[in-house]
Amino acid sequence: MYWGAVKHKYRLTAHTSTVDEMEQNMLACLDVVPLLTIRRFTNRSARFISAYDQGLLGSEAVWAAKRYPGHRTLPPTMAAMARAAHVDFTTVYSIRSIHSTATETQNTKI
């Protein structure tokens, strides 16, 4: 979130021709990002670290971080709920790709 906000602000600045100007623009963009954005990014990162520390997989950590935005660490009950609600996104994507391939095949036959 923080670096994304900084990159967005930097891309809105005028194009520069020297390294010194680029450095000044970058430092100005770093200062423009609100402290609240930095804190939110820090808390979100801490929740992911906590989820991985509790043994959750990537998709489970994403699910838990979205469901429990309150504190920096996830409670053990949330980790258990994430494991129970685990959806393997690779399976979902492969099903979608199979479905889209079948649909394309049907459309070419018509």
pLDDT digits (tens, 9 = 90+) for 17-56: 899 998 999 999 889 888 998 888 888 888 888 888 888 8
Domain that holds residue 42: 34-109
Tell me the pTM: 0.57
Q: Compute CA distances 56 → 18, 47, 99, 100, whole Å.
A: 46, 11, 29, 30
Q: What is the pLDDT of residue 20?
A: 92
Q: What is the pLDDT of residue 18?
A: 92
Distance CA 69, CA 26 (A): 30
For residue 7, being part of any structural domain is answered with no
Q: What is the pLDDT of residue 95?
A: 47
Q: Which amino acid is at 94?
A: S
Q: Compute CA distances 66 → 13, 50, 55, 58, 82, whole Å.
A: 33, 13, 17, 12, 11
For residue 9, being part of any structural domain is answered with no
Q: What is the pLDDT of residue 105?
A: 52
For residue 26, being part of any structural domain is answered with no
DSSP state of 54: T
Give the chain's domain count.
1
For residue 48, being part of any structural domain is answered with yes
Rounded average pLDDT over 65-75: 75
Range in 9-13, 30-34, 38-42, 62-66 with the lowest mean pLDDT: 62-66
What are the two backbone dihedrals, phi and then psi, of residue 45, each rounded to the nearest 5 degrees? -60, -40
Distance CA 59, CA 86 (A): 7
For residue 55, being part of any structural domain is answered with yes
